[in-house]
Amino acid sequence: MKTSRDFWVLLTLIFLFVVGSILTIQTTAPQEQDKLFPRRTSYSASPGGTKAAYLLLNRLGFRADRCRTRLDKPPANAKVIFVIDILLNRMLSNSENLALENWTRAGGTLISYNGLPRPMPGQDDLSTQFVGMTSARIKPRFSTGYFKGVKSLQVGSNVRILAKELDAADYTAALEDKQGVIVAMRKKGKGMAIAISDPSLVSNSGIGKADNAVFFANMVAAHARKGELVLFDEYHQGYGDDRTLAQIVGKYGRASFLQLLVVLVIGLYSYGRRFGEVRPAERPTGRVGFEFVDAMARLYRRAGARTMALETLCGSLRRDMAVALGMSDEARLDAIVRAASEAWGMDRNALADVFIRCDQVKYSESGVTEAEMIRLAAEIQRFRKEAGIGR
């Protein structure tokens, strides 16, 4: 099994790798995605975003703000609402379309941008279609109203409003080219509905081209005074206040969470696996008996009873060898020495000398010296280790 330290080091390295990958994706993927399907949110400073238009209105003195709720009940004090190229998974509901219709008739101005072949948001009686790729400057037919001071507009979309639907829906074409209608408008009660098929006219990359900014400012100034509320719809750009946690963290956040979850599961699985063959646990070596003998020997030494201590050590060695050899405690000493030599390959003469010296000391009146006591104790311990009975 891996050690705890190795596991956490590996998990940390994997975590850093995942975070680095996520940061790389987050800095590159949105840029590539924005080229294909720009997100027209006023929070975005990317080429496809509309933050520049939002800041421009505030600089001009209008009270530009963001709407992060559904449009079932448009704010009554809002003079202009921009609904710009909404997300495919955030289409306006029937109740929202009806609410915007009533709000417009009460005096509001709805300006819808649509860059895909689908009904205009908030104005589902108009649709758009793909045409040939276009990127050109178009001169308006007149220079009053929305086009005051506008010499030309730079368009860059391949989408146009279906001209055949204009008359049936009572719209008027205000800007068009050979490909079709770009801007159409209709009076609705006290308000106005403006449909624009080219979102690039209001995007960060397009609003500064030609006189696009002048046209944009003219539309707002025609329906709102300075200080009045102008709203950018952000709910249908995915920034609603009622978003779930999954929507808040976004798809990259969800992907990173899944990656970390997978890594954690793999790490825990690996940590719980056995590495290598099964090995029996080492049996702890009991030392109780030897420690007791050692303690007694120390006590004898302090009492000056070296002879008695040596007798105790020799007697313990003799008994333990007899037991290990399967012999009786009362077996003859020469038999024990011979059996130990054959079983453990010990030096028979050296072992016999230790036991003989112990017997001599036992019956000697002079006893044993300190140096000889230490030498004999070391020999006894060496024989214990060779026999595997050291405790």
Neighbours of 177 (CB within 10 A): 16
Position 175 scores a pLDDT of 93
Please tell me the predicted confidence (pLDDT) of residue 197. 94
Q: Is the pLDDT of residue 80 over 60?
A: yes
The stretch 111-132 carries a mean pLDDT of 90
CATH number belonging to domain 37-243: 3.40.50.880
Structural domain spans, the chain: 37-243, 288-387
CB atoms within 10 A of CB 99: 18
- Tell me the pLDDT band of 62, cut-offs 50, 70 and 90: very high
Letter string b/e over residues 196-234, b meaning 16 or more CB atoms within 10 A of that residue's CB: bbbbbbbbbebbebbbbbbbbbbbbbebbeeeebbbbbb
| Per-residue pLDDT, 106 | 95
The neighbour count for residue 289, using CB atoms within 10 Å, is: 12
Provide the pLDDT for residue 1. Answer: 44
Q: Is the pLDDT of residue 243 over 60?
A: no
Under the banding of pLDDT at 50, 70 and 90, the label for residue 29 is very low
Q: Is the pTM of this model over 0.85?
A: no
Pick the range with the lowest mean pLDDT from 257-261, 312-316, 384-388.
257-261
> By percentage, how much of the chain surpasses pLDDT 70?
80
pLDDT reading at 2 higher than 50 = no
Give the model's pLDDT for residue 134. 67
pLDDT mean over 149-168: 91
Alpha-carbon distance of 169 to 2, in angstroms, equals: 73
What's the CA gap between 206 and 204, in Å, rounded? 6
Q: Kindly report, residue by residue over 295-351, the tens digit of the pLDDT.
A: 665 666 676 677 777 777 888 888 888 888 888 877 888 888 888 888 888 888 888
State how far the alpha carbon of 43 is from the alpha carbons of 3, 49, 179, in Å.
Answer: 48, 7, 32
Q: 44 pLDDT band (50/70/90 cuts)?
A: very high
Q: Averaged over 26-48, what is the pLDDT?
A: 71
Average pLDDT of every residue of the chain: 83
